[in-house]
Amino acid sequence: MEKVDANLLKEISDIEGNIEGAYNIRKNGKGVERKVTENVNIVTKTDKQGIDVYVKENTKFEFVHIPVIITESGLTDVVYNDFYIGKNANVIIIAGCGIHNDHHADSRHDGIHRFFLEEGAKVKYIEKHYGEGKGDGKKILNPVTEVYLKNGSNLEMESVQIKGVDSTIRTTKGILEDNTNLLISEKIMTHGTQYAKTMFEVELNGENSSTKVTSRSVATENSTQQFESKVTGNSKCFGHVECDAIIKDDAKVIAIPSIIANNLEANLVHEATIGKIAGEQLMKLMTLGLDEKQAEQEIINGFLK
């Protein structure tokens, strides 16, 4: 494996050396390495680019890594990955995409992931995005995640945009049946003229279904961020969407919430806070010996932790 490849994999999946569990590594639009286990099978799609991942019922605490790396300038990679999680299974799936672009043409990855969870299944899904390279070609990432939860299942998703991504449109959709839970945590930082848009849409169809979304972001310099959410309660359910953003310099942050209650017992909440770093926070840290720039960085690090 080349040094650039190894660095990208470390950034997006914490992969160093041997990989625990099942995995499928994709590079520049092609699958390059794969391992399956007794409980996790990975099959290449025959009708389009992508894979089907099958997790047997009652599988407990296995890891599945599906990282994508791009080192070819000018490449547009589109992949469709479907995950079928068996009844009462409990797995951790680590995805993400890293792009290294040293040239002038744009490099882009669009990953469309669909999760189908059977009754009682649990999934923790971690997705990291990262861009690097000396060229002025853009690093573009447009992930789409669709979640379908059956009775008693739940999915926890951690989404992180580390740095270096010039443009991203992140779309997440969920359809929830009885006694299900969708928990999403998003962290984004933008600088320069970068653009990041998040669209979250969930239908709480089942009784006692619930979702909680927490978006924390920092927009600096001339970057733009936009957060859109739509939660529809069609039964006795609970939904809470929280969007917190720190804004600096000439950046722009837009929050567009939408909550729709179609049932008397639907309990839906949306909170959005956008603002600069508070002066008293800076002063407190500066009294401990930090200069203003160092104090700002400490506050941002803590905010995105």
How far apart are the C-alpha atoms of 182 and 154, rounded to whole Å?
6
Nearest to 93 by CA among 84, 106, 101: 84
CA–centroid distance for 138 within its chain: 20
The pLDDT, as a whole number, for residue 1 is: 59
Confidence band of 188 (pLDDT split at 50, 70, 90) = very high
What does the domain layout of the chain look like in residue ranges? 3-279
Q: State pLDDT tens for residues 78-114.
A: 999 999 999 999 999 999 999 999 999 999 999 999 9
Cβ(274)–Cβ(255) below 8 Å:
yes
Where would I find the beta strands (DSSP E) of 118-265? 122-132, 139-141, 144-149, 154-163, 167-176, 181-190, 195-204, 209-219, 224-233, 237-247, 252-261
The tokens describing 188, both together, are 């984004």
Q: State pLDDT tens for residues 259-277.
A: 999 999 999 999 999 998 8
Q: What is the dihedral of CA 295, 300, 302, 305, to 10 degrees?
A: -160
> To which residue do tokens 């990989």 refer?
19
Hey, how many other C-beta atoms are within 10 angstroms of the C-beta on 289? 8
The tokens describing 183, both together, are 């928990």
The tokens describing 175, both together, are 């359809």
Determine phi and psi for 160, rounding to 5 degrees: -135, 125
How far apart are the C-alpha atoms of 245 and 148, rounded to whole Å?
29
Hey, how many other C-beta atoms are within 10 angstroms of the C-beta on 121? 27
How far apart are the C-alpha atoms of 278 and 284, rounded to whole Å?
10
Determine phi and psi for 279, rounding to 5 degrees: -60, -35
| DSSP string of 36-64, one letter each residue | --SSEEEEE-SSSSEEEEEE-TT-EEEEE
Q: What is the dihedral of CA 73, 76, 82, 83, to 10 degrees?
A: 20
Q: State pLDDT tens for residues 239-260.
A: 999 999 999 999 999 999 899 9
What is the pTM (predicted TM-score) of this model?
A: 0.94
Q: Is the pLDDT of residue 210 over 90?
A: yes
Q: Is the pLDDT of residue 284 over 80?
A: no
Percent of the chain's residues with pLDDT above 90: 83
As a residue count, the chain comes to: 305
Range 281-291 average pLDDT: 78
Range 154-180 average pLDDT: 96
Hey, how many other C-beta atoms are within 10 angstroms of the C-beta on 120? 19
Comparing 172 with 304, the larger pLDDT belongs to: 172
> To which residue do tokens 């997006």 refer?
12
CA–centroid distance for 97 within its chain: 10
Q: Is the pLDDT of residue 214 over 70?
A: yes
The tokens describing 17, both together, are 């050396």
Comparing 279 with 143, the larger pLDDT belongs to: 143
Per the prediction, the chain carries an average pLDDT of 94
How far apart are the C-alpha atoms of 2 and 140, rounded to whole Å?
22
Cross-strand pairs, 68: 26, 97
Confidence band of 52 (pLDDT split at 50, 70, 90) = very high
Phi-psi region of 88 (alpha: psi -120 to 50; beta: other; left: phi over 0): left
The pLDDT, as a whole number, for residue 283 is: 80
Q: Is the pLDDT of residue 278 over 80?
A: no
